[in-house]
Amino acid sequence: MSSKAIMKGMIGFYILLFFGYLFGPLLVMGVTAFNTPGYPQAYPFEAFTLDWFVKLYNHRNMMDGLKNSIVIGIGVVAISVPVGLAASIIMSQIYHRARGLYYLITISPLLTPGVIIGISTVIFWRDVLSVTDVTRGLFYKGIVLTILGQASFISAYCLLIFMARLTRFDRAQEEAALDLGATYPQVFWHILLPFLKPAVVSAIVIGFLTSFENYNTTTFAILADKTLVTVLAGEVRQGTTPALSALAVIIIGISIIGAISYEVVKRQEQNRAERAQRQAILAERGEIAATA
């Protein structure tokens, strides 16, 4: 009995340590965002201030970078989600001997270091776009190359998300629609796509966030432009300012709100599903009683 209590205590202590490791650095950084000294310092806490948030807002480069990051994120999602969807459908229909190679190619961006994706994108597209002066002038830009580079691996994430959802697709639904005279494109638009809707939503969210966060591929592909993350990297390399802590506080705040609302929605959905199930069981019982 007592050994069990010791075991429980040890597990609790370990979980505490684990989450201390996970959150500790972020908490300390959070405190420095509200402290007055110019060098980010958590202790001693001299005086409460919100100046660093104002400084952050007035930071031109960061705001420009933020705008570019959003544009790139939207561009990447616009390419990667349709590509991932199409790729998941082709995965099930491709000539069976070619499937191994196809799988390898589609999954390889996930195993390739981001640095290499960035380099290969720049080297390849520099020459392709340099074929004419017009294309070079129009498209040889950091934002365009970053979208292309990021889309190469984010499409693979989307593919995996769609494939996971497709394995749960009930083929009988498709057959029923076909028997009732629907064409294949109709099946796609009215049955498959609605079924995939949750996967589309998660692909959009995960794709955008991954793009927004990316550093390794972006530093190479961004050329002379900048994103929020590359501006941040420049700032961190130059030194340390509590304005960076302030930015982290904002990001953590948004993510906690996001996480909590996600949890609430999920719980509501679960309750609704449970209630529906209970009602279905009751209804069935009622029917059985009626026929008996």
Q: Least distance (Å) from another protein to the CB of residue 290?
A: 36
Nearest Cα to Cα of residue 218 among 75, 105, 91: 75
39, 45, 272, 286: which one binds another protein (CB under 8 A): 39
Q: Least distance (Å) from another protein to the CB of residue 268?
A: 14
48, 60, 93, 238: which one binds another protein (CB under 8 A): 93
Nearer to another protein, 239 or 290 (CB): 239
Q: Least distance (Å) from another protein to the CB of residue 148?
A: 6
Nearer to another protein, 253 or 286 (CB): 253
CA distances from 179 to 40, 43, 168 (A): 68, 72, 21
Nearer to another protein, 13 or 287 (CB): 13
Q: Least distance (Å) from another protein to the CB of residue 161?
A: 14
Show the CA angle centred on residue 179, arms to residues 177 and 184, nearest 5°.
55
List the x/- string, 176-195, binding to another protein by CB under 8 A.
-------xxx--x-------
On the 0-12 / 13-18 / 19+ scale of CB atoms within 10 A, 148 is buried
Local structure of residue 48 (DSSP, 8 states) = B
102 binds another protein (CB under 8 A): yes
115 binds another protein (CB under 8 A): yes
Nearer to another protein, 257 or 283 (CB): 257
* Structure-derived torsion over alpha carbons of residues 77, 81, 84, 85, reported in degrees to the nearest 10: -170
**Sign of the CA dihedral 266, 270, 272, 273?**
positive
202 binds another protein (CB under 8 A): no
Nearest Cα to Cα of residue 196 among 277, 289, 89: 89
